[in-house]
Amino acid sequence: MGDCARMADVSASLYERALARLPGGSTRATIFTPPAPPYAVRGAGCLLVDADGHEVIDLQGNQTALVHGHAHPEIVAAVAEAAANGSSVGLPTPAEIELAARLVERIPCVERVRFANSGTEAVMHALRVARAFTGRSKILRFEGAYHGTYDDVLADPARGVPPGVRDWVVTVPFGDEAAFCSAIAEHGPELACVLVDLMPNRLGLVPAAPAFVELLRSETEARGVLLVVDEVITFRLATGGLHTGYGLEPDLVVLGKVIGGGLPVGAYGGREDVMAVADPRSEDGLQIGGTFTGNPTTMRAGTVALDLLDAAAIERINGLGDRLRAELQRLGLRVTGRGSLLRVEGPDPLELWWRLYRAGVLIARGGLAAVSTPMDEQTVDTIVERFAAALA
């Protein structure tokens, strides 16, 4: 990788210190970039500055979570106010009611919602709700799709996951109608739910075919199997999430990232009767807790973030994303996705990452990128220029 992977003194020093305390020098495997990652120190809008003073346009947005970029003034004010009144407490607060109301208003199929601290937790709880509601144990997921780090949804084989876990998981290729029909016919009476991301990033960020989505709904409905749609990444694409564009009404929806205003968050919601199994007033209600779940700081940040992400804002950043995708394709890159979500592919993803970073653009290690509301047409022009320089 030559000069594009060479680190300056400050980052090198931080990395050496980190290695003494953190395996690999950081907490998150998904953001480790060999030979060693740069360390961020501050961000504002769509710009991010690392410990060496190098500034980049942030197209990664903390894995697409920062739909309003860094340090949005209204979100910062909401966080400061909430924290000043107690960052987390051992009682419910009005803040979680406000954010829940926003989600119920925006997502037609969601009548009740509960919060978690991450998308991983939200998936985990949604699967438990599905199992409790149906009285069945198995789940069906799609090969290669990412739904967090819960044992049941990790790719097979996943190191550290007991072999017995796979007895409860049915895995089929995404988009393969015949394989899906065969699997649900065989396992239907044992299936609690089908878990699907309608535009899975790790499978190329290509939207599911409408006919396949219709098949998922008809087959699950016919067999009393719940359909759980993972919108952790894709919720930003429409006011009610990507699934609304298909005319789909899933039984449960899983959320995260953009609904937290940049703070840790997850949520799962759906039909009232399904979500009732998580009602602690019931004698056999699921006892799902979490010390920081629904904390007022995150809830206030999330409410402000969603209010800012109205239909007009979504349309604008989707338009910028569509234009950026087309411009990058003209440079000879394979770029997939929809609206404000993009995935950039190159012959050597790591080499491309470093070339872009040194040219002043940050994307995710696997090529995922996202447009944020601080960006405009001029930002897109600059990004394209920097891509061209990185590819030269």
In this prediction, residues 168-186 reach a mean pLDDT of 98
* pLDDT per position as a tens digit, 140-165: 999 999 999 999 999 887 899 998 89
* Six-digit token string for 275: 């979500």
Q: How many Å apart are CA 172 and CA 392, to the nearest integer?
A: 40
Q: How many Å apart are CA 117 and CA 121, to the nearest integer?
A: 6
Does residue 143 sit in the same domain as residue 269?
yes
Domain boundary (288, 308, 328) is at 308
Does residue 120 sit in the same domain as residue 237?
yes
> Which residue bears the tokens 């599905």?
130
Domain boundary (308, 330, 364) is at 308
- Mean model confidence pLDDT for the chain: 95
In this prediction, residues 363-369 reach a mean pLDDT of 96
Task: Answer yes or no: 257 catalytic.
Answer: yes
Does residue 380 sit in the same domain as residue 253?
no
Does residue 261 sit in the same domain as residue 194?
yes
Q: What pLDDT is recorded for position 166?
A: 87
In this prediction, residues 193-222 reach a mean pLDDT of 98
In this prediction, residues 26-51 reach a mean pLDDT of 94
Q: Is the pLDDT of residue 11 over 90?
A: no
Does residue 145 sit in the same domain as residue 178?
yes
Instruction: Give the confidence band of 3 by pLDDT, cuts at 50, 70, 90.
Output: very low
Among 15, 230, 246, 268, the active-site one is 230
Percent of the chain residues topping a pLDDT of 70 = 98
Does residue 289 sit in the same domain as residue 319?
no
Q: How many Å apart are CA 318 and CA 157, to the nearest integer?
A: 36
* pLDDT per position as a tens digit, 250-259: 999 999 999 9
Among 15, 257, 268, 357, the active-site one is 257
Does residue 129 sit in the same domain as residue 270?
yes
Q: What pLDDT is recorded for position 293?
A: 97
Q: Is the pLDDT of residue 348 over 90?
A: yes
Does residue 354 sit in the same domain as residue 243?
no
- If we measure between CA atoms, which residue out of 129, 249, 112 comes closest to residue 193? 129
Q: How many Å apart are CA 367 and CA 364, to the nearest integer?
A: 5
The CATH code of the domain that includes 262 is: 3.40.640.10
In this prediction, residues 39-48 reach a mean pLDDT of 97
In this prediction, residues 105-125 reach a mean pLDDT of 98
Does residue 61 sit in the same domain as residue 93?
no
Q: What pLDDT is recorded for position 217?
A: 98
Among 146, 150, 246, 268, the active-site one is 146
Q: What is the DSSP string of 132-171?
A: HHH---EEEEEET----S-GGGSPSS-TTS-GGGGGGEEE
Does residue 195 sit in the same domain as residue 289?
yes
* pLDDT per position as a tens digit, 59-107: 999 999 999 999 999 999 999 999 999 999 999 999 999 999 999 999 9
Q: Is the pLDDT of residue 309 over 60?
A: yes
Q: Is the pLDDT of residue 6 over 60?
A: no
Does residue 96 sit in the same domain as residue 193?
yes
Strand order in the sheet with 341-345: 334-338, 341-345, 368-370
Does residue 115 sit in the same domain as residue 202?
yes
Domain boundary (273, 308, 343) is at 308
Q: How many independent structural domains does the chain possess?
A: 2
Range of the domain at 257: 73-308
The CATH code of the domain that includes 59 is: 3.90.1150.10
